[in-house]
Structure 1
Amino acid sequence: MLGWREIRRSSWFALQLEQSHQGPHQAAVNRSPKDKIGPCLVPGCQTGEKVQDLKAWYTSSEEHATGTITFASDIYSLGVFMFELFCSFGSEVERMRVMADLRNRILPPRLLSECPKEASLCLWLLHPDPSCRPKARDIFNCEILMEAGDAIAERQAAVLLEEKEAESEVLFEFLLRMQNQKQENARKLAHDVSRLSADIQEVERRRLALKKKRGPITKVENSGQRRVTGANMQERKGLQGKRQHPEDGVGFREKGIACIDGRGKILSKSARFMSNFNHLEKVYFSMNWRACAPGMGMSKSSSRQGAEGLSIGCAASDELKATSRSGEENEEDWLGCFFDSLCKYARYSRFEVKATLRHGDLLNTANMVCSLSFDRDEEYFATAGVCKRIKVFECDTILNEHVDIHYPVVEIPCRSKLSSVCWNGYIKSHLASCDYEGVVQLWDASNNRVLKEYEEHEKRAWSVDFSKAYPTKLASGSDDGTVKLWSINQERSIGTIKTKANVCCIQFPPDSGHLLTFGSADYKVYVYDLRTTKLPLCILASHQKAVSYVKFVDSVTLVSASTDNTLKLWDLTRANTAPHAQTGCSLTYTGHTNEKNFIGLSIADGYIACGSETNAVFAYHKSLPMEMASHKFGCTDPITGREVEEDGGQFVSSVCWRGKSQTLVAANSMGNIKILEMV
C-alpha cells in the first residue's frame, strides 16, 4: 500500500503549491465571503489548518490514535479516494462538510440513491473496525471491478470488429471524397466523375463481398472473445494469492484505452492518405489513363522496337509474352493495383533503430562511408569509404549483441580511398571494390587477399557492380568517361563503352547479363546492350543535374537519383531509342535533399531508400511519389563522438536494404552506421 501513502503526500504538496502560486491579495479575492473554511495566505490566516484537515480526511481512527500506518489504514485511505471519485461537490464549503460527515460514515443521500453499489464499497472500505475492512483480493473480486473487466472485454471485441470493417473503408473514403470534388465541376470533369462512380460501385461490391465473408466469422470470433475473457478472469483469480500493488487496480482503465488503439491506427492511415491527397489523385488518374490507353506512351512502331530491343538484353521472347499477358491482366484490375499501392504505403510509417556502430575511429576524422553492400545470403554486409578500409560485419551479431562497440569479422586495408563495394551474387566470398585512383580490385573476403587488380581507368572510379545473371562478369564506371567490363577469369578488360561525360554509377539488371545501365554527369541515363555497344539501346533524359545512382526495380523498371533533389522511376518498355527520351519517366519522387553529394540508393521489394543532405534517411514506395518514412541521424562530434546540436554539414552517404526485408543499413558522412527497421 506504499502507493497510497505517496498519493496522500502528493495531495498535501499539491495543495500547498496551489496556494503558493497565488499572491496574498489574489487569494483573498478568490475566496468567497461565505467561504469561512479554506486556505488563505492573507496575514492572519494559515494554510496549515487546511493541510491538517486534509490529513485528517485520509487518516483512519487507529492511525490517528497510534500514529502507526498499517495495511488496514491504507485501505481506509483508499476508501476516501474512492468516495471522492464517486461523489461530486458543488462548492468547497459543501466538500468540507461532506468530508467531515464521512468521518462518521455518513454518505450523501444522492450517492446512496443513485450509486448504491459504489456507496456500499465505500462503507466497506471505511469500516471503523480495521479487521472488518476488505483485503486486496476482496477489492479485486468486488462486483464493480468485475463488471468493469467484463465491459472492457466487450469493448475490445467490438473494437476488433470495427477494425476489420474500417480496413476496407480507407479506399472507399478516398474515392468518395474525390467524387464529391469532381462533381462540383461536372461539366468539365464529366468523364472523371463517371469513372469514379463506376470505381466506387466496384469498391462497394468488394466491400459487400468482404462483409458476407465476415458474417459467419464474426460469431466464431465473438465466442472466442468470451472464452478468452473467461480465461483472463481465471488467470486474474489465480494471481490473487499474491499481494498486489493497489495501484494495479487503476490498470483496468488503461487497458480499456489501449483497446481503442487499433481503431486509432486505421484513422491515422486515413489521415496520412488525406494529407497526401493531391499526390494520390495524380497517381490514381495516371493509372486510370494508362489502363484506358495502354499504348499512349509511344507509337506502335516504337513500342515494337523497344520490346524487341529489350528482348535482346532482358529476357527471351516467351518471357516477354508472359510479361505482356500479366500486364494486360493487371490493367484489367488496375483499381486493385492502386489499392495494393495504398496498402503498401500505409503498412509502414517510420524507421526504428535496431543497432548503431562506427565505421572509423575517433582519432581519424575521415570516416565517411561511401558504399554498403550485403553478401549473397544477406548474412554479412561490407562497408567502404575514405578511411581506406573495407570492413565486413555480421548483421545478426550486431542486432543480437547490445554492446557499445562492434568489431568487424573481416577488415581489409586498401591503398586508396574507396568509392564503391559490391558482393558477388553467386560466389559468396568474392567482393569487388573501386577507389579514387581508378583501381578495381577483386577480393576473397574469406582469407583477406586480392584475387585480381585492374588498373585501366585513368581517373577515379565511382561505381562497380557484379552481374547477377553472369556472376563472373563485372563492370565499373569512372571519371574518365568510360565503362569497363571485366571477367574474374581474365587479367584485362573484356569491353569498353566510351561516353562524353563522367560516369557516376552503373547497374546490371537482375535477370540479364547482356543489359547494362549507367548514369552520367551529363544529366542522362544510358541503357546499353553489351553485345552491340556502338549505340545505346535508349537514353533517358529528364534530370536537371548529374545522375548519381541508378538501380533496377525489375527487368524493365529502374530508378535513378540525381543532385537535382529528385528520384525518377523509368519504364523501359515506354522509352524509345531516340536521344533525350522523356516518355519513359513514370514517376518523380521528392522530399529528400540532394544537391552536391552522393547520398546512396537502394531498392528491395518495391521499396526505395535513399539518404539526404539533411542527415536523414528517406523511404518511398515505387508506385507513389511521396515519402512514406524517414529517420534523422543524430549529429556527432568527430572528436568526442558525442551528439551535438549543430549538424556541421553532415549527410547520409550510403544505404542498403537487407534483401526483401524491412531492415535497412544506413551510414552518414561521419562514419556512423545504423541498422534500421521500417515499422
Structure 2
Amino acid sequence: MTTKRRLSDATIDQSNKTIKYEDKEERLEKVFENMRLRRIVKENHGCDINQLAFFFNNKNFSAPFGLDQVKTFDKRGAVQRHSTNTSNVLATVGGCELSVYDNEHCGDHLDIMSNFDLTPLEEDTENKTLKHTLETFCWLYREGDALLATGGADGLVRIISVANSEEIKILEGHQKLIYDIQSHPQSDNIILSTSKDGTIRLWDVDQSKCIAIFEAEATVTCFHPSGEKFVSGNSRGELRVWNVPSTTETMDDEPIIIEKKDSHIVKKMHGDSYIDCIRFANGNVLSKSINGRMEYWDMETEQTIRSIRIRSGENYSRFDVSLDELFFCVGSSQGTIYVYNIKTGKLVTELGHRRSTKAVRCCVFSRDSRQIISAGEDGFIMRYDYIDDATLAEWKNWTKDDL
C-alpha cells in the first residue's frame, strides 16, 4: 500500500515548481474552507459601504504574501514591520464618511484610527447624504504619510492626508457623480477617475492637474499592470481598451482630449448587463457584471479563458483578487462571500453566517490571505478569519456551559 505524504514548500527544489505551486494552492484552499466569522462592525452613518481596501503599498514595499508571509512579534506582542509595510491599514467609504482602521494591533478587533466626514459644515443635514455620498477611493503613498483620493456624488476628487487628518486638495473637473477611482500601478502620483458625466479623467495629483480626458461612458476602469493601457466597462456591458498617454505628451496646461474612436471596443461578453468591477490577474482580465457573470479573458486576443456564474443574485459588488493572483472573492445579495480558484474556476468555499444577511457590496483579502473582510448594506463590516483544525475541533466539543 502506498502512503500519501503531504509535501511542504521546504522539501521541494526548483526542479519541481509545479508541485510546489499546486501544494500552496491546495493549502490556501484549506485556509479558506476553515474561515469563520470573527468580527462585526457597524459604521455609524448607517448607509451602504461602497468600497473597502487594504493599503498594501506594493509599489514601494516588497515582501512575501499569502502563506509565504511569516509575522514576527516584539516583546510586547506587537507585530514587527518595516515603515513602508502598511498592510494592516484598511479604509472604507460609505455615506459621507471615510474611515481608516487598524486590522492588526488590537487582537480580534478592527480598531478605527481615523474618521473623515466630508460634508461641509453649512450643508443642509437632511440632504447631505444625497449630495456628498462617497462611492470610491484609492490609496496613494507618500513618505511619512498615506493619502486617500476619494470621490462621489458631488463630482470632486478629494485628497485626504491620513497623517495630518485633513483634506489637502480638491481636484475639480467632473460635472457629475464619480463612480470609480484607480491608482496607477507604477506611480502614486497618477490616478484615473470615472464619472457619470461621460468622461474618464487622468490626474497628476501633486500638480492638481488633469492630464487627459477620455470621452467614455463608463462605470468602472482598471489599469493594465504596465500602466500603459486601461480597460473600461459601462452600464450596457461594453468593454473598451484605452491607451494611456505618456507624460511627454502632456506638457501643455490643457488636458489631452481622447475620443471614443481612439479606443478599442472588445467583443461583448456580458450581454447588456452593467459592469461593476474589473481586475487584472496573471496578465489577463477578470470582469464582472451585476447579474453575477464573471469573465476571465485575454486582453490581446479577446479570447475567453473561463466564464463563471456566481450565485450572487442581482447585486452590485466589487470583487478582489488575492495578491498571489490564484483566487478571487465576491459577495452576494444575501450576505454570502464566494471564493473561487481562478486557474480552475472551482468554487473553493462559501462564507456566511446567520448574522450576515445584508448584501455584500465589496470584499477583500488580507495580505496573508488568512482573512477576508466584506462590507455592504447599512454600514456593516464582516471579518472572516482562518481558524486552525485543532481550534475548530475544540469549538465543536464545547457545550452551552462552556460559553
Per the TM superposition, whether the score is higher than 0.5 is yes
Matching residue within 602, 607, 611 for 2:320: 602
**Partner AA of 2:239 in structure 1:** V
One-letter amino acid of the counterpart of residue 465, structure 1: Q
Match of 2:297 in 1: 570
1:119 matched residue in structure 2: none
- 1:587 match: 306
Residue 678 (structure 1) shift: 5.1
**Does residue 114 of structure 2 align to residue 410 of structure 1?**
yes
Does the C-alpha gap of structure 1 residues 342 and 358 become closer, same or farther in structure 2, counting only changes over 3 Å? Answer: closer
Change (3 A) 1:345 1:489: closer
Aligned counterpart for 1:423 among listed residues 128, 139, 147 = 139
- Alpha-carbon distance in structure 1 between the residues aligned to 2:340 and 2:24: 11
Query: Letter of the aligned partner of 2:178 in structure 1?
Result: A
CA contact (8 A) 1:663 1:678 kept: yes
Relative to the length of structure 2, the TM-score reads: 0.72
Q: 2:367 aligns with which of 659, 662, 666?
A: 659
Letter in 2 for 1:549: C
Out of 103, 108, 111, the position equivalent to 1:395 is 103
Alpha-carbon offset, residue 613 of structure 1:
0.8
- Superposed, 1:628-643 pairs within 5 Å as 628-635=348-355
**How far apart, CA to CA, are the structure 2 residues paired with 1:620 and 1:527?**
26
CA-CA distance at 1:569 after TM superposition: 0.8
SS at match of 1:458: coil
Offset, 1:367: 2.9
Show the 5 A alignment for 1:248-647: 343=26, 346-350=29-33, 352-353=35-36, 355-361=38-44, 366-375=46-55, 376=57, 377-386=86-95, 388-398=96-106, 400-401=107-108, 407-415=111-119, 416-424=132-140, 428-499=145-216, 501=217, 503-510=218-225, 512-531=226-245, 533-534=258-259, 535-537=262-264, 539-544=266-271, 545-554=273-282, 556-575=283-302, 583=303, 585-595=304-314, 597-604=315-322, 605=324, 606-635=326-355, 647=357
Per-residue deviation, 1:337? 10
Equivalent residue number for residue 191 of structure 1: none
Corresponding position: 1:162 with 2:32: no
- CA offsets, 1:440-487, max 9 Å, x none? 111111111112212321221111011120211001111222111111
Residue identity over aligned pairs, in percent, reads 16
Contact 1:348 1:628 in 2 (8 A): no
In structure 2, the gaps of 5 or more residues are: 58-85, 120-131, 247-257, 388-403
The two structures, once aligned, show a CA RMSD in angstroms of 3.1
Question: 1:90-239 to 2 correspondence within 5 Å?
Answer: 162-164=3-5
Indicate how the Cα distance of structure 1 residues 662 and 527 shifts in structure 2: closer, same or farther if over 3 A, else same: farther
- Using the TM superposition, give the Cα deviation of residue 496 of structure 1 relative to its aligned residue in structure 2, in angstroms: 0.8
Distance 1:528 1:382, change over 3 A: same
**Counterpart residue identity of residue 514, structure 1:** E
Q: Indicate the SS of the match to 1:670.
A: helix
1:526-569 Cα shifts (integer Å, max 9, x gaps)? 22111294522452520121110001114x31211101211111
Unaligned runs of 5+ in 1: 1-157, 169-212, 214-329, 576-582, 637-646
Distance in 2 (CA, whole Å) between partners of 1:162 and 1:394 is 45
User: Does the aligned pair in 1 maintain the 2:39–2:108 contact within 8 Å?
Assistant: no
Structure 2 CA distance for partners of 1:338 and 1:472, relative to 1, 3 Å = closer
- Give me the whole-angstrom Cα distance separating, in 2, the residues matched to 1:487 and 1:557: 27
How far did 1:352 drift? Answer: 2.0
